[in-house]
């Protein structure tokens, strides 16, 4: 092993996680926000005063961020700032470092899940802070997602939404995406659904706070859609739900039944390309597998048996599941800005 390879391994095994923890702490303490807002470089005392913090801790923390390349320092090693071009990236991506304390909170229960005689899984609802985290991650990029990767990709969707259609989102959580659509398309009606009642209450109160009257939120277990659903829809969408389910096949055939003939279904999910071996050394993919171990797999064991796909189930398996459910795969859109996200545009034949 050469020195470069050794350095890379040490960085990966120890330093990356520690830097992520420091970013998470700086974000939660408001240190990053103070640095974003400041027009001039600040001392650790300035930061501490602005944030009602202890200077010595602030100095240690920003030093970790400086040496990690996240925050910049002047030649006297006392004045801190964040480069203007780094700010938007850090603001968006630092949200993901909240995973660090979240993984820590769940660590003990995941340890037990992994053991042979331990529990099968842990539900999202047992650690509801995940919903706030997802919400924060989504809020930042929801318009980008809709304008680039969702609305223009489904045939004539915007025209039809303007004239008025019935839309459903499955696994809508706090309703970020569907409420955005409700406000854009007042002539259409939107049904958000999730298996967790408490998140639907949040979605309902957001709708009422925003004066949105073209939405409803219903409890629905998408793995148990009746043979003859009461209501049918023109467009159904879901994002990052299928890989979390015990029965993805049951879910997709249920959605097929909920669609009107000719209606569209949008499945947005992480679309791993290639085999595990093809992805060796890709840290972003490693992040997905790690998140799956702590979040997705445990969630999918909500029933005795689970397909336990995990988010890295791959585009090939996704196509197979969609075709098996009876959909025509109209288009496969790979996001240009949100690496790895794929929008499978499907249609129920007329
Ligand atoms: C990873 S989150 C994605 C939430 C939201 N779609 C987003 O992209 O931010 C998965 C969502 O699926 C919901 N979910 C899990 N199992 C479900 C089931 N059996 N039926 C319906 N929703 C389910 C969870 O409660 C959660 O809100």
In the chain, what are the domains? 3-91 (1.10.10.10), 120-347 (3.40.50.150)
What is the predicted pLDDT for the residue at 1? 87
Q: How far, in Å, CA of 298 to CA of 307, rounded?
A: 12
Closest residue by CA, ligand 1 atom 12:
171
Intervals of the chain under pLDDT 50: none
pLDDT at 10: 83
**Which pLDDT score is estimated for 87?**
94
Q: How far apart are CA 103 and CA 298, in angstroms?
A: 12
Radius of gyration of the chain (CA): 22
The atom of ligand 1 lying closest to the CA of 196 is 25
Residue 27 has what pLDDT?
Answer: 96
Tokens of 8: 């890379």
Residue of the nearest CA to atom 19 in ligand 1? 221
pLDDT score recorded for residue 175: 96
User: Which pLDDT score, from 0 to 100, does residue 9 have?
Assistant: 85
pLDDT value of position 278: 96
**Of all atoms in ligand 1, which is nearest to the CA of residue 138?**
9
Cα(131) to ligand 1 centroid in Å equals 10
Q: Contact at 8 Å (CB) between 142 and 184?
A: no
Q: Is 171 in the pocket of ligand 1 (CB under 6 A)?
A: yes
């Amino acid at each position: 092993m050469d020195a470069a390879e050794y350095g890379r391994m040490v960085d990966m095994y120890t330093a990356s996680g520690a830097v992520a923890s420091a970013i998470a702490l700086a974000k939660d303490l408001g240190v990053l926000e103070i640095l974003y807002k400041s027009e001039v470089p600040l001392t650790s005392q300035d930061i501490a005063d602005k944030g009602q913090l202890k200077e010595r801790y602030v100095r240690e923390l920003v030093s970790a961020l400086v040496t990690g390349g996240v925050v910049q320092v002047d030649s006297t090693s006392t004045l801190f700032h964040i480069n203007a071009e780094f700010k938007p990236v850090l603001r968006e991506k630092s949200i993901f470092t909240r995973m660090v304390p979240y993984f820590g909170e769940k660590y003990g229960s995941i340890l037990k899940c992994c053991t042979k005689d331990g529990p099968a899984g842990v539900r999202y609802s047992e650690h509801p802070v995940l919903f706030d985290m997802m919400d924060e991650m989504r809020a930042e990029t929801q318009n980008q997602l809709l304008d680039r990767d969702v609305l223009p990709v489904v045939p004539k969707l915007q025209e039809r939404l303007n004239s008025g259609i019935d839309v459903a989102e499955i696994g809508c959580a706090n309703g970020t995406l569907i409420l955005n659509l409700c406000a854009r398309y007042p002539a259409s009606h939107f049904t958000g659904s999730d298996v967790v009642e408490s998140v639907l209450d949040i979605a309902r109160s957001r709708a009422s706070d925003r004066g949105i009257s073209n939405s409803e939120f219903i409890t629905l277990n998408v793995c148990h859609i009746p043979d003859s659903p009461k209501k049918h829809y023109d467009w159904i969408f879901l994002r990052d739900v299928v890989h979390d389910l015990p029965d993805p096949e049951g879910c997709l055939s249920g959605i097929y039944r909920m669609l009107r003939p000719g209606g569209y279904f949008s499945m947005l999910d992480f679309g791993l390309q290639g085999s595990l071996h093809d992805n060796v050394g890709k840290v972003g993919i490693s992040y997905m597998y790690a998140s799956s171990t702590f979040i997705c797999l445990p969630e999918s064991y909500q029933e005795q048996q689970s397909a336990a796909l995990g988010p890295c189930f791959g585009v090939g398996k996704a196509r197979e599941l969609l075709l098996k459910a009876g959909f025509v795969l109209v288009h496969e859109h790979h996001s240009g800005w949100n690496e790895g996200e794929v929008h499978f545009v499907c249609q129920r034949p007329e």
